Structures are given as C-alpha cells and as structure tokens.
Amino acid sequence: MAAKFLTLAACIRNESRDLSPRPHYPSMPKYPKGRFPSTDDEEKNIMAEGSESKALFSVTGMTCSACAGSVEKAIKRLPGIKEAVVDVLNNRAQVLFFPSFVNEQTICETIEDVGFQAAIIKEETNENSIQVCRITIKGMTCTSCSTTVESALQVIPGVAKAQVALATEEAEVHYDPKILNYNQLLEAVEDTGFEAILISTGEDRNKIQLKVDGIRTDNSMRIIVNSLEALPGVEGVEIEPELQKLSLSYKADVTGPRNFFQVIESTGSGRYKAKIFPEGGGREAHKQEEIKQYYKSFFWSLVFTIPVFLTSMVFMYIPGLKHGLDTKVVNMLTIGETLRWVLSTPVQFIIGWRFYTGSFKALRHGSPNMDVLIALGTNAAYFYSVYSVVRAASSPTFESTDFFETSSMLISFILLGKYLEVLAKGKTSEAIAKLMDLAPDTATLLTLDDEGNVANEEEIDSRLLQRNDVIKVLPGAKVACDGFVIWGQSHVNESMITGESRPVAKRKGDVVIGGTVNENGVLHVKVTKVGSESALSQIVRLVESAQMAKAPVQKFADRISKFFVPLVIFLSFSTWLAWFLAGKFNGYPKSWIPSSMDSFQLALQFGISVVVIACPCALGLATPTAVMVGTGVGASQGVLIKGGQALESAHKVNCIVFDKTGTLTTGKPVVVKTRLLKNMALREFYELVAAVEINSEHPLAKAIVEYAKKFREDEDSNVWPEVSEFESITGHGVKAIVRNKEVIVGNKSLMLENNIVIPIDAEEILAETEGLAQTGILVSIDHQLVGILAISDPLKPGAKEVISILNSMKIKTILVTGDNWGTAHAIAKEVGITTVIAEAKPEHKAEKVKELQGSSGIVAMVGDGINDSPALVAADVGMAIGAGTDIAIEAADIVLMKSNLEDVITAIDLSRSTFRRIRLNYVWALGYNLLGIPIAAGVLFPFTGFRLPPWIAGAAMAASSVSVVCCSLLLKNYKRPKKLDTLEIQGITVE
C-alpha cells in the first residue's frame, strides 16, 4: 500500500528535515511553502484550473536528509506544485502538481539545477495495479471450511494473496484487476459451497452507493447512468436494476456526492429522487441477519423438541399420561412413538437442513467439517429410530426403543450454541463498529462569499461532504471529516482516535480529524479528506486488516483441522463396534444394559456421543477471536497492531532498540547556550548565522533560525541578509558569503577541512557540551572561529521511567543513533541505557538489529524517522512513533499513535495478555476434546455407571465454542500495567 495509507493519526512530517516546533496532529497534510490551502483567490484559481497530476522521479546523488530537503524545497518553489515528497532511501521524489502551471520536464530540470540527476519514472506513475477485495462468507463453521475457501482463492490466476478469517467470516483478497474481477472471486467462493457477499472492491478511489426512487423503465436508468458517466471525475458506474441501486467510483478532488444528487434529480425534472444506500449493503446488517436466522431456527426447533423431550423423559413417569402414550396404534407402535416421530421429522429435515447442505459441500471438496459430524450423529439416531418404529408397526411382538429425542435435542442445542457463538463473535469486532460510529450523521455546510464571509449555512448528511467544502463545528459537536481550521479557536478531544486523553488546542491552520469532539468554541473547518481518504477510514482499514491476518500459532489449529473430523468418525465407529461386539460376546455383564435398550442400542448411543461431542470449532476460534479482541483493545488505547504476526512476535520481545531523535527525545532541537570567542554583538552574530541557516532544511538549522528571531522581535523576522555562494556539505554543515564575509556553520570536521584553527578553550567547550547531551555547532567568519552554539533536543518526559520499567521486565534496551558518541552516551546515561551505538547510518542500524537477532533473540526497534525505516523492517517487531514520518509508519508492525514511549510497554504487555488468552483457549479446546471424547466413548461407564447421552454431548459441544469466544472476550477488560498509571500519578505525561 501507499505510505499515505498509514499516515493514520500521525503528523506527516519528515523528522530529518522539519523539526520546527508545531503541534503534532494525526494526518497533518504537507503543503508547499506559501501554498497552504486557504480561501484566497489564488487557491481558488489553481483548483479551478483542473485536476492534479502525479509524477514519480528518480533522483540520484542524494546522500542524506539535507539533500532531500534541498530537492523538496526547490520543487515546492515552482508554481502549481501541490505536494512534493522526497525519499532519500530509495532515491525517489513523488510530486503532485497542476499541469496548467508546471510540467514534468520543468520539475526534472529544477531537480538538476539543485545538483542532482533526475529522470521521470514513467512506468510507475500509474496507480498500483493490485487491488484488495473484501468478501463476507456465510456458512463457515470451522478451520476446515476457511482453509478450503482460502485454498480455492489462492489458486485463481491473478490472485496475489488471499486470507480467510473464520472469526470474522470474511476474506481479504489481493488481486490484479487486469486479470480478473471481483465477480470471479465471488463465484470461486460459492463454488466451494458457501455464500459470498461483496463488502468492498478496495480500489484506491472513492465510492458511493445511491438508491434512486422513481425509475420505472430500463431506459430511465440508462439515461441517469449516461448523465453521471459524463460528469468530470466519475470513473465508473455500476448498476443493480432490481434494487434501483447505483455504485459510483469518482475522484474526490474533482467531484462529489452532491453533484451526483443534482444530476440525478435534474435529469427527470424532479421525478427521480436519490438517497445514499447503506454502505456495502451493510456489513452489520449481514451479521444481524445471521443472528436473526439462528434465533429463528432455534426457536422453531424448541417448539418441536420440547414436546419430544416431554413425551420421552417426563410424561413417561406420570401414570395417566404414560398409559395414554403407551396406547397401541398399529401392532406394537404406540401413540408416544408416533408423536415423537412426527415432531422430530421437521427438526431433522427442515430446521436441520443447513447441516445436510453444509456436509454435502464439505464432502464434495474433500474437507469434512463440523456439519459432517452433526449430520452423522443426528442421522444415526433418527434413522435407527425410524427403523425401530417401522419394525414395531409391522410386528405384533417387537418392542421398539426410539432415539427421536436425541436427534431433535442435538440439533436444538447445536443451534443454541451457534446462536450464542455469533452473538459473542459480533462483540469481538466491536472496536471497528465503535470506530465507524464516531463519524457524525450530519454536518453544517457553510457557503462563503468572495470576501470569505459566511453567506449561508445548511445542515446536510455528512456523507455528502466534498473536498474543499467549509463546515461549521459547534461546541460539543463531532468534526464531520478531516480538514484544517480556517477560523476560530477551541480545544478538541482526540482520545477516540489517538488515545490522547487531554484535549488539544486548535486555531487557524491546525489540522482536525473526523470523529473527534469539539470541546469549547466554534470552528470553521475546510475539508481536505473525505470518505476512504480520512484518517478514521484508514484506521478502520488497518484494524480490519489486522484482524484478518493470521498469527503463526494459528497454523497449529489448521494442521489439526485436516485430520480432526476423519479421526473423530473413525473413533466413533470404533467405539460403536467395540461396545457392540463386547455385548454380542458377553464382554460385560447384562446388568450394565439399561432396561429400555439392548446392547446394540447402548453401543449406538456411545458412538453417537463421540461424534457429536467432538468440536473442531473451538480449536478454529481459539486464535482469531483473541487476536480480534486484542487488536481492537490496542486501537482503543492508541496502539495500532498490524495483525497476528506482530502480536505473536511482540510477546516474545527480549531486546528493544531505540532511536534517539524524536523517539527518546522530543525531536524539537532548541539552542540552549551561545559562547562567543571574539568581541561582537550577539545580534550581529546571529544575523550572519541565521542568514546562512535559513537556506538549510536541517532540523538544527531550523532551531538556530528560530532562536535568532528572538534578537529581532521588533522587525520583520522573515527577512534576513542576502547570501551568495551557498553550499550545503552533507553531514557537516553549511557555508556562504554574507555581507562580503565567508560564514561557515558546522561541526568540528568541517572546520578542520577548511583549515580553521580550533583553540584549546573551544575544544573544552565542545567536550563540556557533549557531556551535557548537547550538540556543539561551530561558527567561523572569514576563517576565524568566533562562536559555539549548544543545541539540545530535550528528553521526552517519562523516558527514564519507561526504560526502568522495561529493564524490570527483563527486556534489554539499546540506543542506536546517528548522533556523535558524546551526545549519545550522555542521553543513554540520563535514561539508564548501558549499550550505545552512535554515528550509525540507516543501513548500519539495520545491520546492528540483525546482529542482535542472532545474539539476543527477538528484537524490537522503536523509531520515527526515514532513517529508521530499514531497521524497522529488519526488526522482528518494528514500532513507529505516531508523530513520525509516514515512511517509518509504513515500515512498522505497530504504530504508537500518541507518540508516547509508555505505549511501547502497553504494546508488549497487551501482546503477552493476548497470547496468554490464546494459550488458555487452546488448553480449553484441546482439553475439552481429549477429555470429552473418552468420556463420551464410555471409559467411565464400567467403573461408575456414568455415560453421556448424545443430547448432553451435543450441548457440551455447543458450549465449548461459546466458552472459547467468551474467554477471548474477557480481553476487553484489559488494563495496562499499573506501573504506567504510577507515571501519570507522578505527573509524568508523554507528549
């Protein structure tokens, strides 16, 4: 996926280029300097010119983030540039631009003017051809079912990856739309014997579904479709005539839902009315329909089963009723047997028909499942009973014993278990439902006049908002979608998205996220992202994907499921045969046989009990339900875990590697001390230094410029002396001519390269600076060292306590940074880390992680910058600080949305809790089968006289699945370690 997919609740900024103080808000859009969206005429003119284009460039010669910053800055200076992102690791630049202002060749030449070689990558300028399709699959009962569907999807040409989750009853398929379409995927699922319902086709474009009332003929529908297809920005229209439903794919920056409504309603002169159709037919609606179906089936099975139970187990002990039920109808056939036969038949063949169809489909594909076991057990009981009563009806001497209550009660208890199971499984995905419910139903749309004043306001459905709309957010109301404030100030509660408990101040220019709550004050917000582009939608997709991904431990259940059902059938037949032969050849006393049956019937009951007590579902649900609840709990606490693999690896972590800048430190350097070695005014000194550094994108340069502004508060702080011959020396510093003086600003090695003498007292100041965990910057004017700047990147509050807690958890901590050794050691000493690796390039960080994996076991990497990406990928578990770069977030397995270091502990502790729950589920599921099957087979009967009737065995089987799901649901009560609460009590909060 594109890096923007995991922007999530992260501020899109490049740590190595822009660390100037500013709020860290999720999904902060980056805009070219001087081109921040506003309501001014220039912005309107550009947007009116037409749609934007995207181009990808290969940029060779970049060696560090400063180079990338230079390239990005040069591109953004061009007219018509909407966005430019430079990836120094892959030597690429991606640019969004308006073709009417600038073209690709001009951008290419601009990059070359900066000093790098550039070329357009034509074959990659198009969108990724792989799309993601999500499908609801109805009818799966165990891992055998999900494995069958998954295998069928994976062999289809054009499918890159397919995952089927039993717990969510969904499939996620990555496919090439040039080779096949989603209809073929649906057909493949249905060929395996299950019902397939499309949730989404997952294209990287906005989609909306509309229902049009008033259409009477096919021609009317065709006219509407043609009118919509003619609109600019509409990429496709699909129709479902029987539902009068339209599905439109469109470019959000060109058109939107309100335009579609207007076209539809104007096409028929007001005869046609459009409304938004429930999304995807309503995933929740499918779940509710399934719950309703199981409830209905269970209810009707009870209606028939209760009389069967009463006539066979209760009324037989009431003298008057017993006499009536024992009255003969034909030969030895009684009224009671006839009633039970009549009442149990609808339960067996109408209510229980789902088990016949399920077992037929499973056997057709050679993957027997739970339905096969249920069908075998109930059919054995039912048809033996039929044989018994038919023989009694045709014989004047044969006294029959029927098991009609066994088959009907079995089906009733199993339906009750399935009903409770789907109810419980619905609660495992509550995290997604709660996220989706965050978006408000309505929004107040503002119409602005040419001066930017509010001319009109109206309340509309929030799904009708379009990009560049302006909305009004009242105190206490939810923000309808992502955007930025153009008027007003307030505090916004973002806890529901980021997990940050404290309200965040918002004023003009600040970003707001859809679904958050405005606390106090009115805000006017310009919409930037709608529909699937919003941070909320991205988070929902991430959590959905996480819940689809299988944990490696799930392979255990998958392996068992391949032979579980055949083994149970074999054990069942063996049990019946053993007891039957033992009875035939007097292997046990006749007194063991109940008075109401013979040895064959006793053996049959033991065999049926073995079939119906075995439960493959409990094994199949043990892992996915726990992973679903665990990832949902993590999302609610601001820890986004990308699936079962990340969860499983995190619980085994015994070594964590921390980046320094932006991870252990705040990532916002500030000048803390200035030492002049020559007599000159500090104001003059900073005039020269800032004039040079203003041309650099390095975070240290920004810190110097910000500090220099303090000496000229009474003047225009954005204007500095002109410079010439500016040069950025990668990894060392900068130099230029200012007011006919050569000014060099950089580290010690840069001074030595330029033959500038460093006095002993300057060396001592540098050593003292590094000892205080500060970075020393040297300044020379006309080849004479005139000053030293001490720049500090403060530690994040609570960093020391977090490292201490990790050490107490027996987790080794290591600091890896590209900073100098002195500063690195000082920072490490301050937080309590003993192992330090300094002056490490990005590739060296990754190499060190691999070394640690060989010696220390499972290694996690915590970072936030582009230079951390290789290490995040190399680590067993990559954790990205939420306020870091989008590239780092894309590379990570776990995203800490609040940028809190304490969430590193939360992520590890949550994964440990989840896997304790998975182990408990497996112990329960395996223990249940290992103990239940022998008891059902009659192991205890010779010693205690205890046997398990088939209907009780069926109830126990149904209860096992429900118990596993409920055991996973207990994870919803997860509380983070009390040690972290102690940090808050002490007033330590991490920003």
The owner of tokens 């220099």 is: 708
110-136 burial, b if ≥16 CB within 10 A, otherwise e?
A: bbeebebebeeeeeeeeeeebbbbbbb
**469-500 per-residue burial string, b: 16 or more CB within 10 A, e: under 16:** bbbbbeeebbbbbbbbbbbbebbbbbbbbbbb
Structure-token match 């909305």, residue found? 471
Element (H, E) at 786: strand 784-792
- Residue 490 phi, psi (nearest 5): -165, -175
Query: Which segments within 530-620 are labelled E, that is strand?
Result: none
Q: 888 near 866, Cβ under 8 Å?
A: yes
Contact residues for 797 (Cβ-Cβ < 8 A; gap 6+)? 988, 989, 990, 991
CA dist 877 and 904 (Å) reads 11
Of the candidates 659, 864, 903, 909, the residue annotated as catalytic is 659
CA-CA distance, 632 to 969, in Å (whole number)?
Answer: 11
The token pair at 813 is 């901590």
What gap in Å lies between CA 102 and CA 112, rounded to an integer?
Answer: 16
Reported as type and span, the H/E element at residue 919 is helix 902-936
The CA distances from residue 310 to 316, 321, 334, 608, in Å, are 8, 11, 15, 21
- Decide if 576 contacts 609 (C-beta within 8 A): no
Q: Look up residue 108 and give its amino acid.
A: C
Strands 859-863 and 877-881: parallel
DSSP 393-446: HH-SS------HHHHHHHHHHHHHHHHHHHHHHHHHTHHHHHHHTTS-SEEEEE
- Locate tokens 């040039």: which residue? 178
**What's the full length of the chain, in residues?**
991
Residue 10 has φ and ψ, to the nearest 5°, of -115, 140
437 is catalytic: no
Identify which of 893, 417, 443 has the alpha carbon closest to the alpha carbon of residue 645: 893
Positive or negative: CA dihedral 296, 301, 304, 309: negative
> What single-letter DSSP state applies at residue 136?
E
Collect all residues with Cβ–Cβ distance below 8 Å to 913 and sequence separation of at least 6. 630, 971, 974
Helix 950-969 vs helix 902-936: crossing angle, to nearest 10:
180
Beta partners for 859?
655
What b/e string do you get for 201-234 counting C-beta neighbours within 10 Å, with b at 16 or more? bbbebbbbbbbbeebeeeebbeebbebbeebebb
**Residue 278 neighbours by CB distance under 10 Å:** 11
Q: Which residues are catalytic?
A: 659
